[in-house]
Structure 1
């Protein structure tokens, strides 16, 4: 086994890992979680707006 065999095995391992990560990311069981994470920034705006409205009512 020389260095080229090791490089070849490393390439195969990297390809398998890449395919595994892609399969994990696009699996249907994780879709809900990723959609929730993607909407998180918009949920923060809603919370900030409600907090500002509540604070405004308290000051009146």
Structure 2
């Protein structure tokens, strides 16, 4: 096995991993989890406002 074959195999593995991560990120099953995580900073602001009163 020479350098070019190893490089090609590594490139294919990285590409397949990238496609898997993109598929996972845009999966509709994870949308609710990501929406909840996106709103976490705003939930912290609500708690701070109630403590000031």
Q: Could you list the runs of 5+ residues in structure 2 that have no partner in the other structure?
A: none
Q: Which has the higher contact order (CA 8 A, sep 6+)?
A: 2
Runs of 4 or more, structure 1, over 3 Å off, are none
Between the two proteins, the alignment pairs up a number of residues equal to 53
**Structure 1: segments with no counterpart, 5+ residues:** 54-60
Pairwise CA RMSD of aligned residues? 0.7
**Given the two structures, how large is their TM-score scaled by the length of structure 2?**
0.93
TM-score (norm 1): 0.83
